[in-house]
Amino acid sequence: MTTYKSALEHVRAVKAKLGGTWGAIHPEDAARMIVQNRFRTGLDIAAYTASIMRKDMAEYDADSSKYTQSLGCWHGFIAQQKMIANKKYFGTTSKKYIYLSGWMVAALRSDFGPLPDQSMHEKTSVPALIEEIYTFLRQADARELNDLFRALQKAEDAGDSAKAAEIEAKINGFETHVVPIIADIDAGFGNEEATYLLTKKMIEAGACAIQIENQVSDAKQCGHQAGKVTVPHEDFLAKINAVRLAFLELGIDEGVIVARTDSEGADLTQKIPVSKQKGDLASQYISYLDTKEIDISEAADDEILIKRDGKLHRPTRLASGLYQFREGTQIDRVVLDCVTSLQNGADMLWIETPTPNVAEIAHMVNRVKEIVPNAKLVYNNSPSFNWTLNFRQQAFDRLKAEGKDVSAYDRAKLMSVDYDNTELSNIADEMIRTFQADAAREAGVFHHLITLPTYHTAALSTHELAKGYFGDQGMLAYVGGVQRKEIREGIACVKHQAMAGSDIGDDHKEMFAGDNALKAGDASKNTMNQFGG
């Protein structure tokens, strides 16, 4: 990592070699700008963040309490504020990632306007959002370092060498806001070549981890909705290979692939793969199809039949041409998907479940671990779950199994406010609070994310502000509900001009134009100075 002194020495050497006419270029200014821009390309970011993820994965393998977390972000500013908050409240960005949700790209970032999560949005909007997020995170680095360099200059001007050394140490030990992004490529947006090309764009934008699912690309559905259609393993593995080769081509040797299976909620497939011998992957996939034994005399012209155990079978087929899987095969198919993916190039798994239940997740993962002991999950703590109702029902069932009296509760109506602050609701809330730690310990979950949280927080906070501002609270709705809280919490964004880069811009103007610089931060006329700090 470049230190301020090493950058300074480098610029001085370059100036001595080439800078005969560079009299206006101060090495201190150039060194400062180099340090404030640690990552020059998206590939620099991808390589750095991939190494972070690999280190975190190894630490989790040794100690399951060292799991990682992220929140889904739909704009660079949202991601930036999330990471600034992590540094403010926890002093570090360690083990705190960013999730880029295909759902939110579709709903919020498409030129078509809001779209369902069906891969109808422009594929280029995904790498564009990755690039945007890292632009905002790098700006957060530059802003915080800019304040440190201002303080360093002040200490040096005052001749306070001890203070200057202290500040320079902070600059050299600065922890970046740039963290890994787990980026959703949906089902790959087309064939293997399309997946490969889009993956390269995502990596070049900075992505170190690509999450890809085993649905049919042109029939893709949200993981929490019906109508999902999976592909045979061979098709999915071809896309995993495409992603890996894209990483290797671009020099991101430690790139991470998250293989997502939607088989738990999918009961359809688009095609029957070719089996070369009984028991191979294609044969196992075909074995899960719903079929009915028939006599050859019952077969229609041009009908597709399957030979099974010496008998002819008619696969159940919809009018759309899609084939139906047998009921009760979901978990077996999930386990096969997971094992196959891990044995053929994937680094981690993503399993969509109908409810957030640690025991149910563990049941599937433990079967995978029998074959791949270090199997790890990325788990969606989805807003599509009714967390309150689910965990109150789990608490109800636990109390009942323990022989406790649950006659005061109606299991079907546990969402009711009437049950708030009861013994059952308190147990449920504690289960929710510890869910991530419990699932990391018992169900192999390395990374916990919430896919759509900032979609919901943006909606809720905007609704609250509109309700008060356009109602009888008027301006107090903003002052009391927003600004006063920002000031008292010490949230940097209250000084929105500085957050948008005005201080950095002023310092750059001075570097570029010297005393001729026209700066925005004049103390007597800058209203942002009302906020102190």
Distance (Å, whole) CA 286 – CA 333: 11
Among 44-48, 446-450, 470-474, 494-498, name the one with the lowest average pLDDT.
Answer: 494-498
C-alpha–C-alpha distance, residues 316 and 288, integer Å = 11
Residue 348 identity: M
Other Cβ atoms less than 10 A from the Cβ of 468: the count is: 18
d(Cα 353, Cα 351) in Å, to the nearest integer? 6
The whole-number pLDDT of residue 533 equals 52
Which of 110-119, 163-172, 259-268 has the highest mean predicted lDDT (pLDDT)? 163-172
pLDDT value of residue 517:
63
Q: Has residue 12 got a pLDDT over 60?
A: yes
User: How far apart are alpha carbons 466 and 452 in whole angstroms?
Assistant: 22
Instruction: Say what the pLDDT of residue 500 is.
Output: 78
- Min mean pLDDT across 15-24, 73-82, 232-241, 365-374 is at 15-24
Among residues 489, 488, 487, 495, the alpha carbon closest in space to that of 521 is found at 495
Please report the pLDDT score of residue 345 as a whole number.
96
* Position 525 pLDDT exceeds 60: no
Residue range 58-77: mean pLDDT, rounded:
97
For the chain, percent of residues with pLDDT exceeding 70: 95
Place of tokens 């059952």: 424
B/e letters for 81-102, b = 16+ CB within 10 Å, e = fewer, are bbbbebbeeeeebebbbbbbbb
Stretch 2-27: mean pLDDT: 93
Q: Mean per-residue pLDDT for 114-137?
A: 92
Q: Taking every pair of C-alpha atoms in the chain, what is the biggest distance, in angstroms?
A: 100
Torsion-angle region of 227 (φ positive above 0: left; ψ -120 to 50: alpha; else: beta): left
Nearest one of 234, 236, 256 to 195, comparing CA atoms = 236
Residues 377 and 341: their CA atoms lie apart, in Å, by 12
Band (pLDDT 50/70/90 cuts) for residue 526 is low
Q: What is the pLDDT of residue 217?
A: 75
pLDDT higher than threshold 60 for residue 527:
no
CA distance linking residue 241 with residue 316, whole number of Å? 31
Query: Average of pLDDT values for 475-498?
Result: 88
Note if 222 is an active site residue.
yes
Beta 181-184 vs 209-213: how paired, if at all?
parallel
Q: For residue range 160-189, what is the model confidence (pLDDT) as tens digits?
A: 999 999 999 999 999 999 999 999 999 999
Q: Other CB atoms closer than 10 Å to residue 478's CB: what's the count?
A: 14
Q: What is the dihedral of CA 362, 365, 371, 375, to 10 degrees?
A: -120
Quick check: 532 pLDDT over 70? no
Residue 377, strand partner residues: 349, 445
**Alpha-carbon distance 373 to 388, whole Å?**
33
The pairing of strands 323-324 and 268-269 is antiparallel
For 68, the token pair is 């990682």
Q: Is the pLDDT of residue 513 over 70?
A: yes
Give CB contacts under 8 A, 24+ apart, made by 145-151.
145/35, 145/36, 145/171, 145/174, 146/36, 146/503, 146/504, 146/507, 147/503, 148/174, 149/32, 149/36, 149/507, 150/503, 150/507
What does the mean pLDDT of the chain come to? 92
Position 512 confidence tier, pLDDT thresholds 50, 70, 90 = confident
Question: Does 513 or 201 have the greater pLDDT score?
Answer: 201
pLDDT beyond 70 at 58: yes
Q: Of 530 and 51, which is predicted with more confidence?
A: 51
* Residue 64: DSSP 8-state: T
Unique residue bearing structure tokens 């949906």: 186
Look up tokens 């047998």; give the residue. 326
Taking the C-alpha atoms of residue 319 and residue 302, their distance in angstroms, rounded to an integer, is 15
> Residue 120 has what pLDDT?
81
Structure tokens at 289: 């199809």
Count of all residues that appear for the chain in the document: 533
Supply 485's token pair: 């809280």
Distance of alpha carbon 176 from alpha carbon 470, whole angstroms: 40
**Nearest Cα residue to 101 out of 124, 71, 80:** 71
In this predicted structure, what is the pLDDT of residue 133? Answer: 98
Name the token pair of 221: 């559905």
Q: What is the mean pLDDT of residues 106-121?
A: 88
The answer to which of 13-17, 30-34, 297-301, 495-499 has the lowest mean pLDDT is 495-499
CB 287 within 8 A of CB 240: no
* pLDDT for 503: 81
Cα 107–Cα 185–Cα 348 angle in degrees, nearest 5: 125
Q: 491: pLDDT confidence band, cut at 50, 70 and 90? A: confident
Answer yes or no: pTM beyond 0.75: yes
Percentages helix, strand, coil for the chain (3-state, rounded to 5) are: 55, 10, 35
- Average pLDDT of the segment spanning 503-510: 79
| Whether residue 428 has pLDDT greater than 70 | yes
Q: How far apart are CA 329 and CA 224, in angstroms?
A: 18
Catalytic residue of the set 73, 208, 222, 338: 222
Least confident window among 234-238, 399-403, 465-469, 485-489? 485-489
